[in-house]
Amino acid sequence: MEHIRQLIRTIPDFPRPGIQFKDITPLLKVPGCVREATHAMITPFREQQITAVCGMEARGFIFGSLAAQLLNTAFIPLRKPGKLPGQVVAVAYTLEYGSTTLQMQRDALTATDKVLLIDDLIATGGTALASCELIEKLGAKVAACAFLIELSDLGGRAKLTDYAVHSVLDYPA
């Protein structure tokens, strides 16, 4: 995975001072690397009868939709407010840089669903925890959360003690 790590660049002070932004766009440019990264994200969960992958807007869509294809499951987008038509459920939460809300369509999941949550990166864990709450609002079960990048010094994993958490690349501060 070291070649994947080398395709992730750190942009200091973006989108605001003090944030070390992990930019995955160089990784997206190299054929096969998104697939390889996504494989590593989902490998522990292949035998877990996952029925749906939920991905957070926007970079969670890149890895999440491919994860759903590889696992042969549904893909459910978790979106920023005002993007999804019809009835939605919502959870508000705080980010490493600001606060926001995530929404999901009310009929996206049912109590029979077993979900793998996918995002590119876990920092403070607020986004992932809010996403788990959203999934559980619809009665579905969160089987696990998987990330390409973990900023482990920000302690996100400690927010997700109720869930299995897997990350491919750790970036301690």
Pick the piece of the chain touching ligand AMP (CB under 6 A) from 19-27, 98-106, 132-140, 162-170.
Answer: 19-27
Cα–Cα dist 68/73, whole Å: 5
Catalytic (active site) residue 106: no
List Cβ neighbours of 40 (8 Å cut-off, separation of 6 or more). Answer: 1, 4, 148, 168
Using the rule CB under 6 A, which residue among 1, 28, 30, 95 binds ligand AMP?
95
Q: What amino acid is encoded at 162 in this protein?
A: D
For residues 44 and 68, give the distance between their C-alpha atoms in angstroms, rounded to a whole number: 14
Out of 4, 59, 76, 165, which residue is the one contacting ligand AMP (CB under 6 A)? 59
Residue 2 Cβ, how far from ligand AMP at the closest point, in Å? 19
For ligand AMP, the binding residue among 4, 8, 22, 108 (CB under 6 A) is 22
Stretch that binds ligand AMP, among 74-82, 101-109, 121-129, 136-144 (CB under 6 A): 121-129
Given candidates 5, 7, 20, 114, which one binds ligand AMP under the rule CB under 6 A?
A: 20
Nearest to 111 by CA among 45, 46, 48, 51: 51
Provide the token pair at 54: 């939920």
Gap between the Cα atoms of 53 and 45, Å rounded: 11
Q: Which region among 37-45, 80-88, 113-121, 138-146 touches ligand AMP (by CB under 6 A)?
A: 113-121
Q: Binding string to ligand AMP for residues 130 to 159, with x set by CB under 6 A, is what? A: --------------------------x---
100 binds ligand AMP (CB under 6 A): no
For position 19 contacting ligand AMP by CB under 6 A, the verdict is yes
Binding site for ligand AMP (CB under 6 A): 19-22, 56, 59, 95-96, 119-128, 156
